[in-house]
Copies of this chain bind each other. A is one copy, B any other.
Amino acid sequence: MPHNEPTIAEAIRASGRRLTIQRAKILEALHRLPGHSTAERIHAAVCEDDRDVEMALSTVYRNLDALAEMGLIAAFADGGVTTYEWAAAGHPHHHLQCDGCGHTKEVALESIAALSDEVERTYGFTIDLRHMAIRGTCAGCRKPADDGGAR
């Protein structure tokens, strides 16, 4: 990925931030690592990949937060641990997170648009679709007899 960096650099610069070596490494690692990655995993990946760059774990956390805030990456809670993924992962997808087995499934939902529209119109609130994590119970974890009946 030699020549798509400039765009990212501009985006970072545009938000009044700086493109530090650490930030670049983190982005790169996140771009390369498959699926969702934890802060610790990213830290390890960067340290393994490049030995001449010092990187504190807190720096990883801070950057992950900043990058998520500017929309370059997506963050969401995954059972006590926060995981991150490259935001430009092709198509927009949402997460169905099962409280039973803890598994997270990525799906594309049409109804989200209507929901986003309603919230926008009624409350002037703009939903961040990248952070849309839906919790509930998947088909496998729903016990046959157990009918929560919760609304």
Contact = CB atoms under 8 A, between A and B. Distances in A.
Nearest to A68: B99
Interface stretch (A39-47, A50-58, A124-132): A124-132
Copies of chain A in the complex: 2
Interface in A13-44: 14-15
A105 interface: yes
Report the interface size class on chain A. 35 or more
Contact of A139 (B77, B123, B130): B123
Nearest to A117: B111
A63 interface: no
A105 B129 contact: no
Interface in A112-142: 112, 114-115, 117-119, 122-132, 134-139, 142
